Amino acid sequence: MLRSLRERLKKVPAIYNLYMRIKRSITGELLGMTSRSEQDYLYVYSKDFYKGVGEIVELGSFLGATSIPLARGLLQNPSSAGKEKKIHVYDLFVWSDGMNDAVAGTNLVGRYKAGDKFVDEYRRRTAKYSQQIEIHDGDLNVLGWSGGEIAFLLVDAMKSIDLANSIVHNFYGSLIPNEGLVMHQDFAHYYTSWIHLLQWRFRDHFEFEAEIPASSSVVFRYTKQIPDELLKQKTVLESFSDEEVDVAFSYSSGLVSAEKLPHILASKVMYYIHTGRYRDAQRTFDSLVSDGVKVEKHLVDVQNILKDRRE
């Protein structure tokens, strides 16, 4: 309901700006694309659970809403090894139209247009924690990783299958077995179907760690080193059989609570849209409906995509 209210409010920018200002002041959310519960999880992780062994890496930092709680937690980490660490943040820092929504109700409305660089704004917002943050400004596909073992990998940049392959190739191999955590910020987002196929492909190397309520995030623990040949293998969406797709999405659906379920189911429909199999996408959607699944949350998004396709 909140979601459809938001969509309606967006049509009247002045009211939407006000709504977002009030929402942020009530929730205490930092300006960005993540919820308060995700930001709190990151703070608690870096303060109480991070032992100062291995690195904390954040892929997709935008304006710092996830960097700030991580950095704040590090400063309060009881171990001196933890306090001395830096968070490695990666971002292109190039504005796109999709970012306008996230800054509604702030003085950043209209400040940047598509293509503008915004790393200075990131620096300004995170200035208090500049000693805790190492900025990797650029395309993570190109920059890669050469910083040693990774204790915590926040993935908020798996926005395409190419980026997903690149993150797997460049970062997963450095995760510390048994200790390393991967937080998939887009796990319960309809668009990123590849995350489910990859997590299923690597199911013998990860276990479910936590679901962050009121968010799209799910955290996995890296239990066992992924062999090099598997890490280097390029994942091609079309290479999965329909049976594998069914099993992969059932696996993901079985991990999450009811709150996230419609998003995972929507992502399965999106898999068929991404692979150009619109009839199978429609068939998958229709069978969910005939099984009694309520069309809500991200299922509405895929329903709209299918509707637009038909018109």
- Residue 298 and residue 311: Cα distance in Å, rounded? 20
Q: Which residues bind ligand SAM (CB under 6 A)?
A: 32-34, 60-62, 65-66, 90-92, 139-141, 156-157, 159, 163
Q: How far is the CB of 279 from ligand SAM (least distance, A)?
A: 31
Q: How far is the CB of 57 from ligand SAM (least distance, A)?
A: 12
The amino acid occupying position 219 is V
Residue 45 burial (C-beta neighbours within 10 Å; 0-12, 13-18, 19+): buried
Closest CA to 237 of 200, 265, 187: 200
Q: What are phi and psi of 236, to 5 degrees?
A: -115, 125
Residue 178 tokens, joined: 């048994």
Q: Which is nearer to ligand SAM, 155 or 226 (CB)?
A: 155
Q: Which is nearer to ligand SAM, 74 or 281 (CB)?
A: 74
Q: How far is the CB of 46 from ligand SAM (least distance, A)?
A: 15
Q: Which is nearer to ligand SAM, 33 or 245 (CB)?
A: 33
Q: Which is nearer to ligand SAM, 29 or 305 (CB)?
A: 29
**Closest residue to ligand SAM: CB criterion:** 32
Q: Which is nearer to ligand SAM, 165 or 282 (CB)?
A: 165
- Residue 210 and residue 200: Cα distance in Å, rounded? 16
SS3 sequence, 165-216? HHHHHHHHHHECCCCCEEEECCCCCCCCCHHHHHHHHCCCCEEEEEECCCCC
- Residue 197 and residue 240: Cα distance in Å, rounded? 8
Q: How far is the CB of 171 from ligand SAM (least distance, A)?
A: 12
Q: How far is the CB of 172 from ligand SAM (least distance, A)?
A: 16
Q: How far is the CB of 112 from ligand SAM (least distance, A)?
A: 12
Q: What is the CA radius of gyration of the chain?
A: 19
Q: 151 with 179: CB under 8 angstroms?
A: yes
Q: Which is nearer to ligand SAM, 61 or 174 (CB)?
A: 61
